[in-house]
Amino acid sequence: MSGAKRVSTAPTAGSRWLLDHTRAIAATLDALKRRPFGTLLTALVIGITLALPAGLYTVLGGLDAASSGLKGSLRASLFLSDSLDEAAGRALQATIARKRGVAEAKYISRDAALAEFRTHSGFGEALDILSDNPLPAVIVVTPDAALPKAEAEALLDALTKLPAVESARLDREWLERLYAILAVIERLVLLIAGALALAVLVVVANTIRLDIAARREEILVLKLIGAPDSFIRRPFLYTGLWYGLTGALLACLMVVAAGLSLAEPAETLSGLYGAGNGIAVLSVDTVFAVFGAGGALGWLAALWTVGRHLGAIEPD
């Protein structure tokens, strides 16, 4: 057959690439749809695996956001000696308020403290038994936000040592402990995420390996009729990608569902701490991260498996 007879319909490189990939995408999606149960099972395993770190990360984000309202609030409650009457207390408050570096000093009289306790604690009736008010007057001092942390701490420290101050409590301490705990948990989530990423790799790699074994005959025929390795590899890579992305979708749904079921108790909890409103919903960043991780892990696992097994299948 002469060369002139061969109709030239060679497409451009770009459209050829697009066509090849569109076909691989259509073919692989079609193949996965034809066995929905197996696909869903694999995706579910990946989904659970991804949902765990994503969920923990979301909870962490929620705690972080909830406590951010308290984050800058280095405050001290100065409990005044009972020997100080209200006028002396207010005078002390005014003196403190004028000090350099103090943003606010709020005086809470013994009566006001009692009223507040009665409303919030639920022990109102118990208080009635007592003949007199057991609560001290309080000055709540908030240092200037612009003040460096060390100076603010030194200032509060000095205030707590005033003779009129019987005892003092720095509000920041529990918060710092909380942040220390969160930092540990955050690191733990990273470690768990790393281990689970490995699990996703193994799950996808094994599924693709079985897929390659099942399609051995097809691969042989394709090699016989001149299909390049890239052509044979492509559908497996897309299959890995789909597993990863479907798993990511399921993971996001699971995290959202878990978030909804946790919303009510979480709100109660954060209410008790007077912090932000409830558990944070799945952030857009986390969604992107889950899909990115899922897709990348699926694709990488497929690439790894195909590299290991495809070369061994050669027609003879």
Partner 1 sequence: MSDALIRFTGVSHRYRDGGREILRDTDFQLARGEMAFLTGPSGAGKSTLLKLIALLERPVKGEIVVDGQTLSKVRTRDVPAHRRQFGMIFQNFNLLPDRTVFDNVAMPLIIRGHSGDDIGRRVRAALDAVGLRGREKDWPVTLSGGEQQRVGIARAVVAKPRLLIADEPTGNLDPTMAAEVMHLFTRFNEVGVSVLVATHAIGLISRLPYRILKLEDGLLADARAATGDGT
Residues near partner 1 (CB under 8 A): 1-2, 5-7, 9, 11, 16, 19-20, 23, 217-218, 220-229, 231, 315-316
- For partner 1, which is the closer residue by CB, 87 or 225? 225
Of 86, 79, 238, which Cα lies nearest the Cα of 160?
79
Task: State the minimum distance, in angstroms, from the CB of residue 32 to partner 1.
Answer: 14
Check the CA dihedral 194-238-218-316 and report its sign. negative
CA neighbours closer than 13 Å in the CB half-sphere of residue 97: 12
- For partner 1, which is the closer residue by CB, 82 or 314? 314
Task: State the minimum distance, in angstroms, from the CB of residue 265 to partner 1.
Answer: 51
Task: State the minimum distance, in angstroms, from the CB of residue 223 to partner 1.
Answer: 7
- For partner 1, which is the closer residue by CB, 11 or 307? 11
DSSP string covering 241-299: HHHHHHHHHHHHHHHHHHHHHHHHHHHHHHHHTT-SSSSPPPPHHHHHHHHHHHHHHHH
- For partner 1, which is the closer residue by CB, 30 or 128? 30
Task: Quote the tokens at residue 88.
Answer: 């002396």
Task: State the minimum distance, in angstroms, from the CB of residue 209 to partner 1.
Answer: 19
CA neighbours closer than 13 Å in the CB half-sphere of residue 150: 0
- For partner 1, which is the closer residue by CB, 186 or 218? 218
Residue with tokens 């969160």: 182
Task: State the minimum distance, in angstroms, from the CB of residue 227 to partner 1.
Answer: 5
Of 176, 184, 168, 104, which Cα lies nearest the Cα of 136?
168
